[in-house]
Amino acid sequence: AIGGAAYLAYGVWDLRHPDDQFEPDPNKKNLVILGTGWGAVSLLKKLDTENYNVIVISPRNYFLFTPLLPSCTTGTVEHRSIMEPIRSITRHKQAAVKFYEAEATKIDPERKTVLIDDNSDVKGASNKTEVSYDMLVVSVGAENATFGIPGVKEHSCFLKEIGDAQQIRKKIMDCVETATFKDQSPEEVERLLHMVVVGGGPTGVEFAGELQDFFDQDIKKWVPEISDKFKVTLIEALPNVLPMFSKQLIDYTESTFKEEKITIKTKTAVKKVTDKTVEAEATGPDGKKTTEVMPYGLLVWATGNAVRPVVKDLMSQIPAQKDSRRGLAVNEYLVVQGTKDIWATGDCAVAGYAPTAQVASQEGAFLARLFNTMAKSEAIENQIHELSSSLNLKPGDSASVSKEIEAHEKQLRRIKDIKPFHYTHQGSLAYIGSERAVADVSWLNGNFATGGGLTYLFWRSAYLSMCFSTRNRVLVVLDWLKSKAFGRDVSR
């Protein structure tokens, strides 16, 4: 209660006066931030907004706590519980921040402008306009990779945004209700209740686990007539799922899935999708390839990231980005190579790290420190610009040129203690269903690999502590209690 009162008091005292609205100051530079995901929000949280005219642009006016998105697909957690309005972040800042709900469609690095489109739902209100920047941070994330496989875009569900989770939740119940419709043929029942997940990365694995839980713990009780027909299949092109986890945890995940009756098809690559079938090519132990056609009711596509068009377009305008394929190549200060005033964080940046929330949020926090330092004097800013733009390393090449970085570090330390960005990996966590999780955690200079029920409690507490706000934390705990006590809501 004391904590709650203190939080409320903080919330009230810490707000700016309503009259204190965004008014661009001609003496300050325009710092434009594209995105409201992990990178952008972590930058915004630590940025001293007094120093710049800060403008945030994103088609999404909220931050989404993506680690719990798979739980939203089955109603273990409700979607609003993991969304935090961007304005609840900006209203706590020292100086007002401008937010435009719009998509950045084109960046012009010559004229230093961003073309934005508000794509409004309100008829007739759609607007395109330009925003100019002195400094730009691109944190727009990535889109879903489909590798141009026919039918994927048209027929599958992705799992990136809140709308995707809502669509999957509806579709699961639609398949269940349609399967129990009068005179449904046995083949059609089998198809409708076959849930196929493509991609054995953490997204695919967590979703498959949540889906099987939903069936075992709830659907089976509410709709008993389908209890022996519901089937989840996870398809992965590589020889095993969760390649970023240790061998022991991969084995644990695969044996847990077996117990849960989730079928894993490894060394199987999907080649074509139609409205009712998935066509996949499996490689046998003898190297022989066979094609299998699987009818499905729900298809969830989780095969990783692809570069967004606005990022691709920016890359095509910068000669130094010619060899980069997976996103904007950045240097050790996260400056987009070949530019002086554009930075990038998260899934749209290539800095040699996996595209995870952890990396993006550390990069955002680093940029906040960098900008706070640069604002202290013009001289520091110029020096950082000079140094960072001369340090155009190839992504992932840092080891071979560490001497060069060291020399720069020394110079920079003399400036103001801003070392190049350094990522600290704290570990990987994934939920695998039936109240079990796997964790590869770095702690006290050691690495620990654990899996099971206790790890699940650790997973829950770790995710809870990472939630954006106290409000989110309370809502998530209430959702967990609610789904445990009353079962998940099976209404469509």
Positions that interact with ligand NAD (CB under 6 A):
149, 198-204, 235-238, 243-244, 269-270, 302-305, 354-356, 428-430
User: Between 82 and 374, whose beta carbon lies closer to ligand NAD?
Assistant: 82
Starting at the earlier edge strand, list the strands of the sheet with 231-235.
262-265, 231-235, 194-198, 298-301
Nearest to 314 by CA among 117, 112, 132: 112
Number of Cβ within a 10 Å radius of residue 293: 11
DSSP code for 146: -
Q: Which run of H or of E encompasses 131?
A: strand 128-132
User: Between 179 and 232, whose beta carbon lies closer to ligand NAD?
Assistant: 232
Least separation in angstroms between CB 260 and ligand NAD: 18
User: Between 191 and 265, whose beta carbon lies closer to ligand NAD?
Assistant: 265
Least separation in angstroms between CB 345 and ligand NAD: 15
Least separation in angstroms between CB 289 and ligand NAD: 13
Number of Cβ within a 10 Å radius of residue 378: 9
The tokens of 52 are what?
């710049």
| Position of minimal CB gap to ligand NAD | 201
Facing residues of 62 across strands?
85
User: Between 52 and 245, whose beta carbon lies closer to ligand NAD?
Assistant: 245
Kindly give the interhelix angle for 162-179 and 202-214, rounded to the nearest 10 degrees.
40
Least separation in angstroms between CB 272 and ligand NAD: 10
User: Between 49 and 203, whose beta carbon lies closer to ligand NAD?
Assistant: 203
Least separation in angstroms between CB 246 and ligand NAD: 14
User: Between 199 and 364, whose beta carbon lies closer to ligand NAD?
Assistant: 199
**Cα–Cα distance for residue pair 176/181, rounded to 1 Å:** 9
Q: Which run of H or of E encompasses 252?
A: helix 247-260
Number of Cβ within a 10 Å radius of residue 482: 16
Least separation in angstroms between CB 236 and ligand NAD: 5
Least separation in angstroms between CB 244 and ligand NAD: 5
User: Between 30 and 212, whose beta carbon lies closer to ligand NAD?
Assistant: 212
Residue whose pair of structure tokens reads 């269903």 in the numeric block: 433
Buried b vs exposed e over 341-356: b needs ≥16 C-beta within 10 Å? bbbbbbbbbbbbbebb
Least separation in angstroms between CB 192 and ligand NAD: 22
Kindly provide the residue ranges of all beta strands, DSSP E only, lying in 347-487, ordered along the sequence: 349-350, 427-433, 436-443, 446-452
Facing residues of 341 across strands?
none
**Cα–Cα distance for residue pair 490/492, rounded to 1 Å:** 6
Least separation in angstroms between CB 158 and ligand NAD: 9
User: Between 203 and 361, whose beta carbon lies closer to ligand NAD?
Assistant: 203
User: Between 290 and 390, whose beta carbon lies closer to ligand NAD?
Assistant: 290
Helices (H), 96-219: 152-155, 162-179, 186-192, 202-214
270, 280 Cβ separation under 8 angstroms:
yes
**Cα–Cα distance for residue pair 408/398, rounded to 1 Å:** 13
Instruction: Classify the C-alpha dihedral 368-305-440-209 as positive or negative.
Output: positive
The tokens of 246 are what?
């240790």
**Cα–Cα distance for residue pair 12/6, rounded to 1 Å:** 10
Least separation in angstroms between CB 40 and ligand NAD: 17
**Cα–Cα distance for residue pair 131/98, rounded to 1 Å:** 12
User: Between 131 and 264, whose beta carbon lies closer to ligand NAD?
Assistant: 264
User: Between 229 and 267, whose beta carbon lies closer to ligand NAD?
Assistant: 267
Least separation in angstroms between CB 76 and ligand NAD: 15
